[in-house]
């Protein structure tokens, strides 16, 4: 970009490459970009591990009465898969995207607290490794159990000393508690950075939607992680000091844990899906060649989703025997979330309408996201109908629903984000051809796996069963679901190959390969450690549009 | 499928009852596919109605919005011959925003009203005072079933009478748990309700077709959550009365089973199991007083056949790995003796 003033000469390549120096640079860095990349790579590493676990689960369920895995191992696998996918894959990749992009998008040189940022990453990584370490260490001297086997929401009293001997549950508590510290660090950091470090001219209503949405996400993290941490500490007290908060045999309450967990757990779903919205809100306009439709409404809808999501948690508990009044309240509040979510979907549609849509890989993932998230939202509405939920809750329908949210919604946009910002991070474009293979294989495999599971749930198949009898109508759906896994795995293989190949041989990207409009594209690819030579000044939501179209700048119409 | 439809005809119904009279092994008909869209009981029927409403609304939204998305993707894709100019830059539209805010609100209002009505109708439904009362207690990994008014204790198979249009025979179920959370789910009968320790939940059934209906524990409860299965056997009123009478009858002493009875009472079986009329009074495991009247062993883990019974006695883990009944290390002779004894408990 000739118009960009911040280009810097590449650092002199005179020093020979030395592995210790290179490693030392990464380990001691406080640069938001390097930390962002490390968050994402760590998240992708955990993704491969817990994705493999999911594949084992699907192999066990491919036919009725399969003997592939014993029940104990199966229960550990789904617990580790769920826990890791939420806390060690979703959260860090989101933290990585926020870390990498927020300072670049608001024209800042780094996050507000670079060293807190580094601390957050390393404490998260430690917590993540601790979870897997349980496979080795949890049996302890007593030899009871190994990895956690209580499910990712760890309902009491199954987690009490009486039913969970050994230390597997302690590892679950501690690793999540510790990696949660990392999430809190990055959330606080994002809030302070966005509030205090925007460049000149960037009012709140001129921030890219990505920044707005992750700001809401960061607030949600700060509000809802503490209840989880509190509950986990109470559970630790129960397990080690006999505190009996959740010990039903001594007057404790099993339902109390559920309230604590879901006060965290439901907003957590929005913490995970909102960054997906954030990515889509950047990619869809650029590849439709139009500004986001209804920016102010999108901001309002995001804030509304954030607020409402704090009051819907007990829709995970429609079956615990709440009064009809409570059920009615939570059914209503849950359906209300559908309104701002619907508004968002319509605004993305409005953005594409009348555009010139370029179907590069990032956009392919975002279009699939729109369709799949539509499905996920609609099955979510069905689950909000409390009586319908009495049938569907804890069945495979729910499994299908939330995988449509978290894979069809979040993971697809994460892939889109990686294809979109990879050239900024590495200076090289990812291969479009490998990207298409990745997209089509993964989209096919994902839908093949999870669409049939809706039907298995409707036919009465509960989740978390390690085997099932023949003749209950579940065979064909489970068979198809497992076949889908092969396609997903193949897609991921193409993705990994693409990452490795493109980071060395990809075509040179230049500063602004997508002809985009936000500030991160105004600096070099990769950006220098200080991001911008001179801090930019903006006059509209699309500063680069203004630069490229001086006769028709956005600030005239906004 | 065909045979189930066939049951609707009076002739098939009579035939089914006739089959039952020949032997309890062929109880009416089993419905193995627990399709929530084929309800055969009052609360499940009410849920089915609102489910269809929700499904229709959601399908309509999917068709409209999905169709618009597909149209936009095809119609507005950039084509090879296009010039490089940017399309018209449109920033928003107040009218459109108002329209697509109003429409979701209307949909939500419809669904909320329907949800509130059905929720209250099911949860606050008045049951007749003579409704059958049952207490179901969840255990890792089986169901204890007690009929307090009738003095019957059994396990894993809930017998209830069928309701007719002119004679309602609903069953009120009180749900408790002895250890962790379980969930009672027989989809064609009713939605699921959790069994939570130190709490009593309530649900009810009002089936209008006879047969055996399958369900599962629907809340993860530990190692053998998968094999904590559940059956509701819906009897005609006459069948049900007969079943009650049989459960309450004095146990029959069989001289052939004397040896097995002695072995049973001398091993630690008695610590966990109860057999009416003996010194076996354990409460950790299922009551075995009428074991032979049940269709399955170990909460649906295996059919109740002589062969499976012996396999179970030799080593329960071969049928239900991880279950709480230990391998008692019985000799083959003892297995045979105890099995012979248990087979007299009908």
For the cut 70, the answer to whether the pLDDT of residue A434 exceeds it is yes
- For B147, other C-beta atoms within 10 Å of its C-beta total 20
Q: Is residue B161 within 8 Å of residue B240, measured between CB atoms?
A: yes
- CB contact under 8 Å between B69 and A291, yes or no, is no
- Residue A294: list chain B partners with CB under 8 A: 91-93, 96-97
| φ/ψ (deg, to 5) at B137 | -115, 125
Give B216's strand partners: B185, B229
- Residue A155: list chain B partners with CB under 8 A: 180-181, 219-220
Instruction: Lowest mean pLDDT of A400-409, A493-502, B78-87, name the range.
Output: B78-87
Hey, where are the domains in chain B? 2-26, 27-75+91-249, 255-342
- Residue A462: list chain B partners with CB under 8 A: 185, 216-218
- For A195, other C-beta atoms within 10 Å of its C-beta total 11
- CB contact under 8 Å between A356 and B86, yes or no, is yes
Domains plus CATH for chain A?
35-556 (1.20.210.10)
- The rounded Cα A425 to chain-centroid distance in angstroms is 20
- Tens of pLDDT, residue by residue over A269-279, are 999 999 999 99
What is the pLDDT at residue B166? 86
- Residue A380: list chain B partners with CB under 8 A: none
CA nearest B218 in A: which residue? A462
CA nearest B125 in A: which residue? A324
- Tens of pLDDT, residue by residue over B227-277, are 999 999 999 999 999 999 999 988 777 888 899 999 999 999 999 999 998
- On whether any CB of chain A is under 8 Å from the CB of B246, the answer is no
Residue that wins the pLDDT comparison between B4 and B115: B115
Ramachandran bin of A107, using left for φ above 0, alpha for ψ from -120 to 50, beta for the remaining angles? left
Distance from CA of B227 to the nearest CA of A (A): 8
- Residue A471: list chain B partners with CB under 8 A: 32-33
DSSP state of B274: B
Nearest CB to A371: which of B66, B100, B185? B66
CA nearest A469 in B: which residue? B301
Instruction: Write out the two tokens for B201.
Output: 């939940």
Kindly calculate the radius of gyration of chain A based on its CA atoms and give it in whole angstroms.
24
- Cβ neighbours of residue A275 under 8 Å, at least 6 residues apart? A94, A97, A98, A213, A214, A217, A410, A413
Question: For chain B, what is the mean pLDDT?
Answer: 90
- CB contact under 8 Å between A293 and B92, yes or no, is yes
- CB contact under 8 Å between A254 and B118, yes or no, is no
- On whether any CB of chain A is under 8 Å from the CB of B297, the answer is no
Distance from CA of A154 to the nearest CA of B (A): 10
Q: List the helix and strand counts (H, then E) for chain A.
A: 17, 0
- Tens of pLDDT, residue by residue over A521-557, are 999 999 999 999 999 999 999 999 999 999 989 998 8
Nearest CB to B32: which of A371, A458, A471? A471
- Tens of pLDDT, residue by residue over A4-37, are 444 444 454 557 888 999 999 999 999 999 999 9
Instruction: Lowest mean pLDDT of A84-93, A423-432, B252-261, B273-282, name the range.
Output: B252-261
- What span, in angstroms and rounded, lies between the C-alpha atoms of A547 and B317? 73
DSSP state of A59: H
Q: In a 3-state reduction of DSSP, which class is residue B31?
A: strand
Domains B27-75+91-249 and B255-342 share a fold: yes
- Tens of pLDDT, residue by residue over B37-61, are 999 999 999 999 999 999 999 999 9
Question: For chain A, what is the mean pLDDT?
Answer: 94
- CB contact under 8 Å between B51 and A356, yes or no, is no
Q: Is residue B34 within 8 Å of residue B213, measured between CB atoms?
A: yes
- CB contact under 8 Å between A297 and B97, yes or no, is yes
Q: In a 3-state reduction of DSSP, which class is residue A298?
A: helix
Length of chain A in residues, anyone?
558
- On whether any CB of chain A is under 8 Å from the CB of B55, the answer is yes
Q: How confident is the model over B313-330, as a mean pLDDT? A: 95
- Residue A378: list chain B partners with CB under 8 A: 58, 61-62
For the cut 50, the answer to whether the pLDDT of residue B16 exceeds it is no
| Among candidate residues A300, A302, A293, A303, the one with its CA nearest the CA of residue A348 | A293
Q: Is residue A405 within 8 Å of residue A85, measured between CB atoms?
A: no
What is the pLDDT at residue A306? 96
What is the pLDDT at residue A13? 52
- What span, in angstroms and rounded, lies between the C-alpha atoms of A350 and B64? 14
CATH topology for B255-342 is Immunoglobulin-like (2.60.40)
- For A502, other C-beta atoms within 10 Å of its C-beta total 22
CA nearest B51 in A: which residue? A388
Q: How confident is the model over B308-329, as a mean pLDDT? A: 95
Q: In a 3-state reduction of DSSP, which class is residue B134?
A: strand
Q: Which CATH number fits domain B27-75+91-249: 3.10.290.10, 1.10.3720.10, 3.40.50.300, 2.60.40.420?
A: 2.60.40.420
- What span, in angstroms and rounded, lies between the C-alpha atoms of A409 and A381? 16
ipTM (interface predicted TM): 0.92
């Amino acid at each position: 970009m000739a118009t960009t003033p911040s280009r810097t000469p590449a650092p002199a390549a005179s020093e020979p490459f030395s592995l210790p120096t290179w490693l030392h640079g990464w380990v001691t860095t406080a640069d938001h970009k390097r930390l962002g990349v490390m968050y994402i790579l760590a998240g992708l590493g955990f993704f491969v591990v817990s994705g493999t676990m999911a594949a084992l689960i699907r192999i066990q369920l491919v036919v009725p009465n399969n003997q592939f895995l014993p029940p104990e191992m199966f229960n550990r696998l789904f617990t580790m898969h769920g826990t890791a996918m939420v806390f060690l894959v979703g959260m860090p990749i989101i933290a990585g995207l926020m870390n990498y992009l927020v300072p670049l998008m608001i024209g800042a040189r780094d996050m507000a607290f670079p060293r807190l940022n580094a601390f957050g990453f390393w404490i998260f990584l430690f917590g993540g490794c601790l979870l897997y370490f349980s496979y080795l260490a949890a049996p302890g001297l007593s030899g009871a159990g190994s990895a956690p086997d209580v499910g990712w929401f760890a309902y009491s009293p199954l987690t009490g000393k009486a039913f969970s001997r050994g230390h597997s549950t302690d590892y679950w508590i501690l690793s999540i508690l510790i990696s949660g510290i990392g999430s809190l660090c990055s959330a606080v950091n994002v809030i302070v950075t966005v509030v205090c470090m925007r460049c000149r001219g960037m009012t709140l209503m001129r921030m890219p939607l990505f920044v707005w949405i992750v700001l809401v996400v960061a607030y949600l993290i700060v509000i809802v992680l503490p209840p989880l941490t509190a509950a986990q500490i109470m559970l630790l007290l129960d397990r080690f000091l006999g505190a009996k908060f959740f010990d039903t045999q001594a007057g404790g309450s099993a339902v109390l844990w559920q309230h604590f967990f879901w006060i965290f757990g439901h907003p957590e779903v929005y913490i995970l899906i909102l960054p997906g919205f954030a990515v889509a809100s950047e990619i869809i306009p650029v590849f439709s060649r139009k500004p986001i439709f209804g920016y102010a409404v999108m901001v309002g809808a995001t804030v509304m989703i954030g607020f409402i999501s704090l009051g819907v948690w007990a829709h995970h508990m429609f079956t615990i025997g709440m009064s009809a009044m409570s059920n009615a309240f939570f059914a209503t509040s849950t359906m209300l979330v559908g309104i701002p979510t619907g508004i968002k979907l319509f605004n993305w549609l409005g953005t594409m309408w009348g555009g010139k849509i370029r179907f590069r890989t990032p956009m392919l993932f975002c279009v699939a996201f729109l369709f799949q998230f539509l499905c996920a939202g609609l099955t979510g509405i069905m689950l909000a109908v409390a009586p319908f939920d009495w049938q569907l809750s804890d069945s495979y329908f729910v499994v299908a629903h939330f995988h449509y949210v978290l894979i069809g919604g979040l993971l697809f946009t994460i892939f889109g984000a990686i294809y979109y910002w990879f050239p900024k991070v590495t200076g090289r474009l990812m291969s479009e051809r490998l990207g298409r293979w990745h997209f089509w294989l993964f989209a096919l495999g994902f839908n093949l796996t999870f669409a049939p599971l809706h039907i298995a749930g409707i036919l009465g198949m509960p989740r978390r069963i390690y085997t099932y009898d023949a003749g209950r109508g579940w065979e064909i759906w489970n068979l198809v679901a497992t076949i889908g896994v092969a396609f997903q795995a193949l897609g991921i293989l193409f993705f990994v190959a693409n990452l490795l190949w493109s980071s060395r041989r990809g075509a040179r990207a230049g500063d602004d390969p997508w002809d985009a409009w936000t500030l991160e594209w105004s600096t070099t690819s990769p950006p220098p450690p200080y991001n911008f030579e001179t801090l930019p000044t903006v006059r509209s939501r699309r500063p680069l549009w203004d630069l490229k179209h001086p006769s028709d700048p956005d600030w005239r119409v906004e | 499928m065909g045979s189930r439809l066939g049951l609707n005809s009076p002739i098939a119904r009579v035939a089914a009852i006739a089959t039952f009279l020949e032997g309890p092994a062929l109880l009416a008909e089993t419905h193995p596919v627990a399709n929530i869209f084929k309800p055969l009981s009052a609360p499940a029927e009410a849920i089915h109605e609102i489910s269809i409403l929700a499904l229709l609304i959601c399908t309509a939204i999917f068709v409209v919005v999905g169709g618009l998305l597909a149209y936009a993707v095809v119609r507005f894709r950039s084509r090879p011959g296009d010039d490089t100019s940017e399309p018209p830059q449109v920033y928003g539209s107040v009218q459109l925003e108002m329209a697509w805010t109003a429409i979701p609100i209307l949909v939500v209002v419809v669904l909320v009203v329907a949800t509130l009505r059905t929720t209250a109708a099911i949860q606050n439904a008045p049951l007749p005072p003579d409704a059958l009362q049952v207490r179901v207690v969840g255990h890792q990994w089986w169901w204890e079933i007690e009929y307090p008014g009738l003095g019957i204790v059994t396990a894993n198979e809930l017998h209830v009478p069928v309701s007719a249009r002119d004679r309602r025979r609903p069953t009120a179920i009180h749900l408790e748990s002895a250890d962790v959370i379980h969930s009672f789910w027989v989809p064609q009968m009713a939605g699921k309700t959790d069994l939570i320790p130190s709490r009593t939940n309530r649900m009810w059934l009002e089936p209008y077709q006879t047969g055996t209906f399958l369900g599962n524990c629907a809340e993860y409860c530990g190692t053998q959550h998968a094999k904590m299965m559940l059956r509701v056997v819906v009897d005609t009123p006459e069948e049900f009365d007969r079943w009650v009478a049989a459960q309450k009858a004095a146990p029959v002493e069989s001289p052939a089973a004397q040896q097995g009875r002695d072995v049973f009472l001398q091993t630690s079986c008695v610590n966990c199991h109860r057999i009416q009329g003996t010194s076996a009074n354990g409460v950790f495991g299922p009551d075995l007083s009428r074991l032979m009247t049940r269709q399955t062993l170990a909460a649906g883990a295996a059919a109740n056949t002589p062969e499976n019974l012996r396999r179970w006695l030799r080593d329960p883990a071969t049928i239900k790995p991880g279950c709480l009944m230990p391998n008692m290390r019985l000799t083959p002779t003892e297995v045979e003796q105890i099995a012979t004894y248990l087979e007299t408990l009908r």
